[in-house]
Structures are given as C-alpha cells and as structure tokens.
Amino acid sequence: MSKLAVITGGTKGIGRAVVDRFAAEGFDIATCSRQGDALEGLKRDMAKYKVTVDGFVADLSNRKEAETFTTWVLSLGKPVDVLVNNAGSFHPGHLIDEQNGTLESMIGANLYSAYYTTRGLVKEMKRLKNGHVFNMCSVASIKAYPNGGSYAISKFALLGFTKGLREELKDHGVRVTAVIPGATRTSSWDSAQLPDDRFIRPEDVAEAIYGAYSLSARSVVEEILIRPQLGDI
C-alpha cells in the first residue's frame, strides 16, 4: 500500500508544491480546497505520477467542515503517514484599526483549521506510533511587524500549538515540525512590485518539508526557518 500524505489547501502556493513533491515520491494524496474545480485541476496535473489523489471541498476555518474533512480522510482506509496543515489566509493590517471580525477570521483560518484537522487525524497516528505533522507557521510567528495585524496573532498561536503538540506526541512515535517561511512567491504577493528572486520559491519550502520527513524516526527537525536570501520583506 502506498503511503498517504494529507495536505490541506493543496491546490495552490506552498500546498501545491508540497503535493507535487510527495506525489513525485509515490505518496497517495488527500487534500482539500474551497473550490471543487481547483481540486479537479490538481487531479489532472498529478496524473503523471500514477498515484491516487483524492480531494474534498471544505473550508477548514469552520469546525464542522474540518471535522467532516477528517472523517472523510479516515474513510479512505489508509494510515496517515504525513499531515501538512497548510490551509490558511493572510490579511495585512494594523491591530488598532483593522475591521472588526479580522481576528476571528485569521484565528479560524490559520489556527482552528490546523487544530481541528490535527485532532481528527492524530489519534490514529498516535495509536499506530507513526506519522509526521507539519504546521505551516510563518516568520510572523516569531517576529512582530507593523502590518501584521491579526494574521501575526494567529501565527504566533499556531507556533504555540505546534510546540505543545510536539511535547504531547514525542513519546508516541509521532514527529511534529513547525515550518516557518518568510516571504514566499505565492498569490498573496501578486500586488507586490518586487522581482520574483526577492522571494522564497514554494518548491524550496516543499523540499525542506520532504527533507525533514526523510530523516530516520530517531530524529526530528522541530523547526524549519527559511528566509529569502536578502532577508525579510
């Protein structure tokens, strides 16, 4: 049986690059998106790897939809070898004058999505004493900046969740890694008037994730911090 990688938000950006990297290694893929047509496009593009790619339409910022997604993953009948909590959203702004509801939106998209997805899948990983959880944090998890707004709050919280999860699971054979990328060339930066070489490539983040996964079970990379060569933007 092929190994299974569950990658949330796998149709674009870093998530898409991670799907591509694991599929290239022969992993079956389970992913989700809010757009069904994006999932169908992903399946077509991944056909070259001769692996199974299953997609589910869900907004993981909604607890019930996240729980429905994890129930669906478990119904596939395959042990989860890798979980990459990549789904999220970015809204820049200032804490003192951002729109009401922004904090709730960012916490839902960037923290609750990972929290409920992990809770739904990790018990089986723990039972089997196998698996690796990656949470897509951000340099905003470790460094406050003026335009970070509630996005930074949510990413600080996600890093805290990751650290707590690591402590709970380390004696049960499940590895936990915080991925902390700086500015990465995804659609979030489409309006930036900067050259592409000022950004991290999504493929580089995916390669770092796969490299951390590839270590022996005796070792874990607890944090992957990646920045553009010229520094933060």
112 annotated active-site: no
Tell me whether strands 175-181 and 223-226 are parallel, antiparallel or unpaired: parallel
Taking the C-alpha atoms of residue 119 and residue 74, their distance in angstroms, rounded to an integer, is 12
Taking the C-alpha atoms of residue 167 and residue 14, their distance in angstroms, rounded to an integer, is 26
Q: Long-range CB contacts (< 8 A, 24+ apart) of 89-97?
A: 89/61, 90/151, 90/188, 91/149, 91/150, 91/151, 92/147, 92/148, 92/149, 92/151, 93/147, 93/149, 93/150, 93/151, 94/146, 94/147, 94/149, 95/149, 95/150, 95/153
Q: Which of 49, 112, 115, 151 is catalytic?
A: 151
Taking the C-alpha atoms of residue 65 and residue 84, their distance in angstroms, rounded to an integer, is 17
The single residue listed with the structure tokens 């723990």 is: 126
Beta strands in the chain (DSSP E): 4-8, 28-33, 53-57, 80-85, 132-136, 175-181, 223-226
Catalytic residues: 151
